[in-house]
Structure 1
């Protein structure tokens, strides 16, 4: 995030589904809403110099106090476009439908960014574990400091965050929890029955995350995952078919041999192939989704997310920006099957017409529209889809 008087460059850090095509955003398990986060990208996808120069905070010249608090772009993202409870509800539903026989406990969140989904996953059940993988170390560290530390003393022992590329997951490095994060989460327990120990005992649990910063995923003991997910259109960051198949093979290797599922999301419709600018208004800021022109041969577009801060009278332009190759549903299905998945299922819902809904207040639009499993679907102005790959 750029500072006044000095522009600070960032690697391209897409958000896990920042699209305003998905306008429900409800944290309601009955609504099964989506939740965009940070995406990791191959190193070749970095911003151009011109785009990096634009990625800054634009100050209002009348602002008498330019140094007053500006919320983190990661926090703004979570508040404006993420709803992990909805995705988790669907993940559980898909697992029980297509695998069944046991309760899913072990999740891997690829392109996890601030890993809000993973932290919500382990928060809801003390038996659960989560693995997060992302190329953005800043987002992962922010997660450690702002999300994991709210889980409780055992949070660090049940989540493992890795910094690396989804195309080379075994080479990803474990992210180290900072000592201050561990200290914040210790608890004291009354031990009146032990005079040698004294009246208090520290019950903080130190995660393997704190042991070393050089441990690779391939050397780290992890349970086989019941579910692997890649949400917020993150697979659009992979531009080549070979990369997509390679990634799906890595996913298959991570899933349990007893059966597991991979779930990703995708958006489309006629509005996805043209320039588009939509906004979502909140009490203290406005979130803006900007889609550049669409190349029909390469099927590529550039997405930028902006935040307009009302209280601070500032604009965080290009807070997140990324290049996407918009895959079609049949292409995704073919690649999943070629990678070795047993079956592929589509769950789709129609989204509000973008010609009508250019601006919305909060998460009020589309909240009652449910996803349905389909084998055919007529083209619309805008739609969202879950793609479920089943491995048995």
Structure 2
């Protein structure tokens, strides 16, 4: 046989094929009834002859591997982006900062329990634990409305423009802060670099250049803010050479591939906040006073406020487990036993996905907290130098009545009120406002 284009004699190839078939017959090996239809591929006079088996023979040889491959291809076509699991009005919502954070409360319990006994893999993307956290725990619009009201009530004279969110986690509050005024800036500070990286990828990089150029995320300890490093952003021309505080002792040998060090201080802040009960991560009075001093120093000399939140009540000093049911998952808050001497407890947040064969993300977030009292917080703030301290409290539904609720439940409509005294209840939440 000869190629009509390249004038190359293909007979040696045919002869080699025939010799191979003869050798196989000598050893009594059965030869499949292939249909010998040579396929010629021309590429710069290089001739390649291939022999293909019939379609039905190819199908029979696939076996289990072929079935698995078809299933994988089908799963790939059905795969949805993680944003599919976010509700349209819930792409908001405790951060992950803690000085003594542990991924698991118990080594005997896995962080993720697979409830799929069949063993079949579900390739559909599982939502990130940070995405689940934002939906189940945080309400940035509500927090911002109170922050603005507190500032205008106790400072006034100007609109609050510059926010610092300590223990920011994924900085959802900071990104939401920027939306209402083009003059606003936001600073986020957190010790968990994984949460900050997720924020850059999923929050900051998706809000547009105008907004992302006005947010500054720092990786560091709130007790040592002068050593914090600015996390790199795609908007390098704006964020380069900016630091949370001037740092004269930078390590020249430190790898700066992940961070941008700073040389110029940022504008003083109108508001500094620490939400999601993050101050409970600080276990000693010395740490608490030290942190309050850092927050006070960051505030504008023209006047500013520091705002934190706290929870309490009789139910906060015992074992407790509560659930909230959302469209695509169930969120569980679990509080272990309470040490009345050290006033410490351990908190775990679990998630059960309604899809993915009811897959469980146990101990997605775990914390060791000291539950401070309101008088202790006030004394520490005054010692740190705040002129005055104010309490805004709202009573929450009894824990016995809300062991399992849908979404944020009826408690979201209860308003905070400023108080100078408050009788103990089963459960309450408080904003604590310090005035510089």
* TM over 0.5, shorter chain: yes
SS of the aligned residue for 1:64 comes to coil
Indicate conservation of the 8 Å contact 2:103/2:363, yes or no. no
Distance 1:241 1:51 in 2: 30
Give the match for residue 347 of structure 1: 392
Give the match for residue 22 of structure 1: none
Aligned pair 1:168/2:232, yes or no? no
Give the match for residue 152 of structure 1: 208
Give the match for residue 422 of structure 2: 377
SS of the aligned residue for 1:381 comes to coil
Q: Give CA-to-partner distance per residue, 1:136-177, whole Å, 9 cap, x none.
A: 101111111111122211223200000011110110110012
Give the match for residue 76 of structure 1: 132
SS of the aligned residue for 1:367 comes to helix
Give the match for residue 311 of structure 2: 267
Task: Give the deviation of 1:357 after TM superposition.
Answer: 1.3
Deviates more, 1:309-318 or 1:47-56: 47-56
Task: Give the deviation of 1:207 after TM superposition.
Answer: 3.2
Normalising by the residue count of structure 2, what TM-score does the alignment of the two structures yield? 0.72
- Aligned-residue CA RMSD in angstroms? 2.1
- Within 5 A, what are the aligned runs for 1:1-392? 37-42=94-99, 44-46=100-102, 50-51=106-107, 54-62=110-118, 64-177=120-233, 179=234, 206-208=237-239, 213-216=258-261, 219-312=263-356, 313-391=358-436
- Stretches of structure 2 that go unaligned for 5 or more consecutive residues are 1-88, 243-255
Task: Indicate the structure (1 or 2) with the bigger Cα radius of gyration.
Answer: 2
Task: Give the deviation of 1:210 after TM superposition.
Answer: 9.4
Distance 1:281 1:47 in 2: 23
SS of the aligned residue for 2:181 comes to coil
Task: Provide closer, same or farther for how the CA distance between residues 141 and 255 of structure 1 changes in structure 2, counting only shifts above 3 A.
Answer: same
SS of the aligned residue for 1:384 comes to strand
Distance 2:345 2:240 in 1: 37
Indicate conservation of the 8 Å contact 2:166/2:189, yes or no. yes
Deviates more, 1:284-293 or 1:67-76: 67-76
- Stretches of structure 1 that go unaligned for 5 or more consecutive residues are 1-26, 29-34, 183-204
* Alignment size in residue pairs: 332
Give the match for residue 72 of structure 2: none
Deviates more, 1:363-372 or 1:113-122: 363-372
Indicate conservation of the 8 Å contact 2:141/2:176, yes or no. yes
Give the match for residue 192 of structure 1: none
Task: Provide closer, same or farther for how the CA distance between residues 134 and 51 of structure 1 changes in structure 2, counting only shifts above 3 A.
Answer: farther
Distance 1:367 1:254 in 2: 31
Distance 1:287 1:103 in 2: 37
Distance 1:92 1:239 in 2: 29
Q: Give CA-to-partner distance per residue, 1:44-87, whole Å, 9 cap, x none.
A: 44457844963234342235224431000000111112110000
Task: Give the deviation of 1:276 after TM superposition.
Answer: 0.3
Distance 2:218 2:412 in 1: 33
Task: Provide closer, same or farther for how the CA distance between residues 128 and 51 of structure 1 changes in structure 2, counting only shifts above 3 A.
Answer: farther
Distance 1:322 1:82 in 2: 17
Task: Provide closer, same or farther for how the CA distance between residues 147 and 57 of structure 1 changes in structure 2, counting only shifts above 3 A.
Answer: farther
